[in-house]
Amino acid sequence: MSLDTNSKAKAGSGWGETAKIIVQALAIAMVVRVFFFQPFNIPSGSMKSTLLIGDYLFVSKLAYGYSRFSFPFSPNLFSGRIFGGEPKRGDVAVFRLPQDESLDYIKRVVGLPGDQVQMREGVLYINGQAVPKVYKDEFANIECDPYFRHCRRVVYKRYEETLPDGGPTYTVLDLEPEGEFDTTEVFTVPAGQYFMMGDNRDNSSDSRASVGFVPFENLIGRAEIIFFSAAIDEPDAMRWFSPWTWPFDIRWSRFFNLVR
């Protein structure tokens, strides 16, 4: 009888320790997510070919400090930012859309406060100086409409841009030689705000149009690294009911790529 009692006590102790470990692990994961790194996924092609639909990445909240948008449900506890570090020109940043603060967007920081930004015939100008744009290659992509199951092969011209003042070099896509936003007015970026653009220049809703300038407070963090990627926008990826095909839909080569 005593042996059975001891066995039950040990079993109960074991389950208690397991539950304690699980609770501690969840608490640590929550702290990391809220204060340090938050996972995001890419739902649209506005940042191709830097980021693809189906990429999952970690965003550093430490990079820009904290605003109310840094926390779940965006509690209106304070205004502005604390421990704020200003973004650099060329950062790929996640932010809350000024017109709808329930939506997260991801774009590249192109214009800093006080900059003048303009597009002229597909060339980016910052403070009156053309940003070097060099043809690199063609970027072919299968693009699908998941609702109508219609897919087509789209070929872009891919260029390398290098931002001024020691900024990064990255790739941009050009689909139409005279796209809707290839030539714009001159935008003067107000104090405390930023001008954001997608790398897929003919298929990006950004500061050239509906997004407008993005306040510093709306920034959530800087995209750092891709930790998972699946080709959910390609025709072979429309196989949700055949799990044995899923390993072939994973883009293994994109794992742990730094976002630049």
CA distances from 117 to 59, 89, 131 (A): 26, 12, 11
Please indicate whether residue 46 is annotated as part of the active site: yes
C-alpha span between 108 and 76 (Å, rounded): 27
List the structure tokens of 74. Answer: 């965006």
Catalytic residue among 46, 204, 207, 229: 46
Catalytic residue among 48, 107, 207, 229: 107
C-alpha span between 62 and 84 (Å, rounded): 8
Short-list 191, 230, 197, CA closest to 211: 197
Strand order in the sheet with 187-188: 129-130, 123-126, 116-120, 187-188
Short-list 58, 132, 105, CA closest to 207: 105
Please indicate whether residue 49 is annotated as part of the active site: no
Short-list 120, 126, 139, CA closest to 89: 126
- Across the chain, how many H-helices and E-strands are there? 2, 14
Q: Give the catalytic positions in this structure.
A: 46, 107
